[in-house]
Structure 1
Amino acid sequence: MSKLEKIVNEKISPVAQKISAQRHLRAIRDSFATIMTFLIIGSVFMIIANFPITGWEELQVKLFGEEFPQLIMTPVRVTFDFMAVYIAAAVAYNLSKRYNIDAFTVSLLSIASFILLIPFNANIELDGKMQVVPKVLQIGQWVGAKGLIVAILVGIFVAEVFNIFIKKNISIKMPPSVPEAVSKAFSALIPGFVIICITLIIRTIFASTSYGSLLEMIYSLVAMPAQAFIGNSVLGAIGLSVTSTLFWFLGINATSTLNGVVRPFWLQLQQQNIAAIQAGLQPPHILTEQFYDLIYMGGIGATLGACIILILKSKSKQYKQIGKISVIPGIFNINEPVMFGLPIVLNPIAFIPLLITPVVLILINYSAMYFGIVPKPNGIFLPWTTPPLIQGYLITGSIKGALLQLFDIIVVMGIWYPFLKVMDKKQCEIEMKEQEEDEDFDFKL
């Protein structure tokens, strides 16, 4: 056993197990695993819609009509763009199951409470002017990844309050002769009414503030501090990477949360690089958005390398299967299947390589470009689903960019391997125990 594996087994694993056993964290982790089906389905349609071939969208229009690109993105919108709603329900449901209370009713209350916190208006540009349109719930805004933090908090809040009322017997009791469905409905009346009232009060209070809503306040407090990390320096890049990793570890789509803040800064650098190339000069900037595209091969944490390790080295049937399912989306930089299927989200052991890997790649790639070994990003805009190697070639305009990404993948696999080996060993023990129990059960029968 290597020193690193020993440290992971003796120092990190015991702490990780205690953290993993915490009921709220387990409910959150299980919830993201629950919605993995939606994410995989959405990922397939996303790849179809954004396949990285020049003229792909024009070809779709030519073959299937002008409405086809929007049509093929509809499954993405009802999966990814409603993620917060699903999570609000799933967190409440999974936590309620641990409390042995009416999980279905609690999950519905959680959805209602979450939607109640969302402002029912939208800023829409009409005739060149921004207009506030009332009674509109925008797809992909607060109901999407942008609202995940509040969705998780709402799920926990609703389940906890409901549990208090039920355990304290503060509910309407019906005679035993009353059907179970009716009895559950009446027992949920008091806690449900209180939960909705509290949510309505919270909505009203925040509506009178400069934020306008609880969601806007939490989003601002989370996203805006990230500006302090943004700068055209390695330290800024590392800071952004660490922040993104922390968000993803909590199951929060850091791309949706942070990119709206940092993209204006990136665009300025990209435009300056393009202008320099057009003038026959070398691009002045390294840390454009495309630099981060080179880093995140397979998504945050460069998890494409982790998927390859799962396929090649896993002894666990479950882990090997997750690797096979996740590697194709990973090639197109979609990593939700492995993030929520393994899971990496809220997994303290996986958190270490998830955090370390992009930092190491930033240092490697920045150094390679700073010293002129690999050309700097040329400023071109690529679909984020462009596969690694192709991506490296196009972003740098050189085969050296593709070779750099190939080297990066090898580095990634080396970082992820010892941690996945520890996780795989534990999963194998679980699978063997389950198999023995099944065999023992069959023998008794």
Structure 2
Amino acid sequence: MEKMQNLLSRIGEWSSRNRYLVAIKNAFEIYMPLIIIGAIAVLWTNVIVNDQTGLGAIWQPIMNLSFLNPAFNAINFCTMGIIALGITFLVGNELSKSYQLSSSFCGFLAVVAWVSMLNTSTSMINLQNETITISGLFSSVLGTDGLFTGMVVAILTIELFRLFYKVDWLKIKLPEQVPEGVSRSFEYLLPAFIVLIITSLLSLLIQKTTGVYINELIFNLIQKPLTYVGGSLPGILCLTLISGLFWTVGLHGDNMIAGVIQPITLTLMLENTNAVEAGKAATNIVNWSFYRTFLATGGTGMIIGLTLAIFLVSKRADNRAIAKVAIIPNLFNIGEINMFGVPVVLNPFLIIPFILSPLVAMTFGYFMTYFGLCPVMYVTMPWTMPPFLMGFLAAGGSLMAGITQLLAIVLSVLIYIPFVKMYEKNQNKMDQEVLNS
């Protein structure tokens, strides 16, 4: 146990100090409110004011509000539709902070470098058989398809800028009388120019040698394989297991793997959202809302199951007192009271159900969805959304999705019950030994 604890502690320390993973995690946390706002817009146009798939199909008067749908479509596009642009800026912004560079300038530099590597024009033949050139950024590149490219380019950009900014003779020095802001902008000028020369030439080299732009290359070589593996049941179970192992030694497992899990599951989620917006079926069973629904009901480890198990079988006043305090936070998926109050951390009796419960719940949710008993989730929900409502709204207002989440909670309670009994038996034994000593 001690060896595993030391190993996980070393891995956790490396993960928490890895500036790239931290920057990616922070970027997604900052952008999350906009994703949720976009999800609300999706609920409006697809679940509420929609006469095909929403409330309008059973209550026609709601369609009188359909004139607002273009505004909500615009909200969806300016939040989730340009997520690659936002994440690129934020990764550059967050990474530059670890180097004590200007975060705002570096964020914009990351975006500019990213755009310099994209295909910004294409030739088409019109109805008159004339070749015309269309310039601009394609919406697919701004959305999920460009997400991993944006993160990679942002990291490359900041590392290059940091390297060149260290070279003193590349900084244009102005007299002391010049305002500090103006003077600093000239110091950035040559390093930034060299960075953009490099990214533009690199893009040209990739395009000439492979026949595709960097976005398509990274999408095929990195993003597609990662989302395929992370979007599979074995992949998400492995990541869930890793998160649980970190938690059991007192490390915040969700934060430890956030830099990996968030880009994958949010990409899969937004693909579902885009499909539904286009009138198609959502197909990615594993996604961000699915992950949160069957990993963290009550808190990571389906820990509301522990609270309910204590209410059902506990005979100890101390454990029941903790459960009474924990139940309200559990309803908003906050489980720290259980983690450190019962505790679960470093508790050999409760580590097993803590790790096992989300694995079983996730497998149950996956096959319920796979066999069509629960709809595929396509709406991003706040992580504090209470049980039943999380599944219900994430699947676009599906009662069966909410019921599936409740059934997963029942499974977690059944898993926790025998271990709570064993834990209390050991507590009673330890109390008796203290009295006899």
TM bracket (short chain): 0.5 to 0.7
More deviation, 221-230/156-165: 221-230
1:299 alignment counterpart:
289
User: Are the structure 2 counterparts of residues 85 and 180 from structure 1 closer, same or farther at C-alpha, using a change threshold of 3 Å?
Assistant: same
- The structure 1 residue matched to 2:378, chosen from 370, 379, 384, is 384
The answer to whether structure 1 residue 20 and structure 2 residue 31 are counterparts is: no
Q: How does 1:227-242 map to 2 (within 5 A)?
A: 237-239=232-234, 241=236
User: Are the structure 2 counterparts of residues 83 and 249 from structure 1 closer, same or farther at C-alpha, using a change threshold of 3 Å?
Assistant: same
- The CA distance in 1 between the partners of 2:329 and 2:209, in whole Å, is 45
The answer to whether structure 1 residue 185 and structure 2 residue 185 are counterparts is: yes
Q: How does 1:393-408 map to 2 (within 5 A)?
A: 404-408=404-408
Secondary structure of the residue aligned to 2:296 is helix
2:293 and 2:405 in contact (8 A); partners too: no
Q: 2:114 is aligned with what amino acid?
A: F
- The CA distance in 1 between the partners of 2:210 and 2:197, in whole Å, is 22
- The CA distance in 2 between the partners of 1:320 and 1:168, in whole Å, is 57
Q: How does 1:327-366 map to 2 (within 5 A)?
A: 360-361=360-361, 363-364=363-364
- The CA distance in 2 between the partners of 1:78 and 1:213, in whole Å, is 24
Shift of 1:168: 2.3
2:56 and 2:62 in contact (8 A); partners too: yes
- The CA distance in 2 between the partners of 1:363 and 1:7, in whole Å, is 30
2:295 and 2:362 in contact (8 A); partners too: no
Q: 1:388 is aligned with what amino acid?
A: G
Secondary structure of the residue aligned to 2:174 is coil
Secondary structure of the residue aligned to 1:92 is helix
Q: Deviations over 1:377-417 (max 9, x none)?
A: 27x9777349636999x99x9x8x8765422234468999x
> Normalized against structure 1, the TM-score is what?
0.59
Shift of 1:222: 2.9
- The CA distance in 1 between the partners of 2:260 and 2:85, in whole Å, is 19
- The CA distance in 2 between the partners of 1:73 and 1:407, in whole Å, is 34
2:294 and 2:405 in contact (8 A); partners too: no
User: Are the structure 2 counterparts of residues 250 and 124 from structure 1 closer, same or farther at C-alpha, using a change threshold of 3 Å?
Assistant: farther
Q: 1:49 is aligned with what amino acid?
A: T
- The structure 2 residue matched to 1:32, chosen from 28, 33, 37, is 28
2:357 and 2:415 in contact (8 A); partners too: yes
Q: 1:73 is aligned with what amino acid?
A: N
| Larger RCO (CA within 8 A; separation ≥ 6) | 1
Shift of 1:9: 5.7
Q: 2:37 is aligned with what amino acid?
A: I
Shift of 1:143: 1.5
- The CA distance in 2 between the partners of 1:144 and 1:227, in whole Å, is 15
- The CA distance in 2 between the partners of 1:136 and 1:355, in whole Å, is 48
Q: Percent identity?
A: 20
1:142 alignment counterpart:
141
1:91 alignment counterpart:
91
Q: 2:23 is aligned with what amino acid?
A: A
User: Are the structure 2 counterparts of residues 101 and 289 from structure 1 closer, same or farther at C-alpha, using a change threshold of 3 Å?
Assistant: closer
2:227 and 2:265 in contact (8 A); partners too: no
Secondary structure of the residue aligned to 2:262 is coil
2:93 and 2:103 in contact (8 A); partners too: yes
- The CA distance in 2 between the partners of 1:254 and 1:195, in whole Å, is 31
Shift of 1:214: 0.8
Q: 2:22 is aligned with what amino acid?
A: R
- The CA distance in 1 between the partners of 2:150 and 2:263, in whole Å, is 11
- The CA distance in 2 between the partners of 1:321 and 1:177, in whole Å, is 60
- RMSD across aligned C-alpha pairs, in angstroms? 5.2
1:79 alignment counterpart:
79
Q: Deviations over 1:51-91 (max 9, x none)?
A: 378543565873134x5323212112111111111121112
Secondary structure of the residue aligned to 2:47 is coil
2:420 alignment counterpart:
none
Q: How does 1:94-113 map to 2 (within 5 A)?
A: 94-113=94-113
User: Are the structure 2 counterparts of residues 228 and 355 from structure 1 closer, same or farther at C-alpha, using a change threshold of 3 Å?
Assistant: farther
1:165 alignment counterpart:
164
2:121 and 2:133 in contact (8 A); partners too: yes
- The CA distance in 2 between the partners of 1:415 and 1:95, in whole Å, is 42
Secondary structure of the residue aligned to 1:388 is helix
User: Are the structure 2 counterparts of residues 33 and 258 from structure 1 closer, same or farther at C-alpha, using a change threshold of 3 Å?
Assistant: closer
Shift of 1:376: 3.9
> Normalized against structure 2, the TM-score is what?
0.60
Shift of 1:221: 1.4
1:69 alignment counterpart:
69
Shift of 1:137: 1.5
Shift of 1:324: 8.0
2:119 alignment counterpart:
119
- The structure 1 residue matched to 2:262, chosen from 251, 262, 267, is 251
Secondary structure of the residue aligned to 1:134 is strand
- The CA distance in 2 between the partners of 1:415 and 1:32, in whole Å, is 33
Shift of 1:106: 1.6
- The CA distance in 2 between the partners of 1:112 and 1:354, in whole Å, is 45
2:434 alignment counterpart:
none
1:84 and 1:142 in contact (8 A); partners too: yes
2:313 alignment counterpart:
none
1:282 alignment counterpart:
none
Specify the structure having the higher radius of gyration (Cα).
Answer: 2
Shift of 1:198: 0.7
- The CA distance in 2 between the partners of 1:42 and 1:228, in whole Å, is 24
User: Are the structure 2 counterparts of residues 357 and 149 from structure 1 closer, same or farther at C-alpha, using a change threshold of 3 Å?
Assistant: farther
Shift of 1:148: 1.7
1:24 and 1:156 in contact (8 A); partners too: yes
Q: 5+ unaligned residues in a row in structure 1: which ranges?
A: 231-235, 265-287, 328-351, 417-445
Secondary structure of the residue aligned to 1:208 is helix
2:207 alignment counterpart:
207
1:301 and 1:354 in contact (8 A); partners too: no
- The CA distance in 2 between the partners of 1:165 and 1:357, in whole Å, is 50
Shift of 1:22: 1.8
Shift of 1:366: 7.5
Secondary structure of the residue aligned to 1:251 is helix
Q: How many residues align?
A: 340
1:273 alignment counterpart:
none
1:176 alignment counterpart:
176
Q: 2:142 is aligned with what amino acid?
A: V
Secondary structure of the residue aligned to 1:308 is coil
Shift of 1:194: 0.5
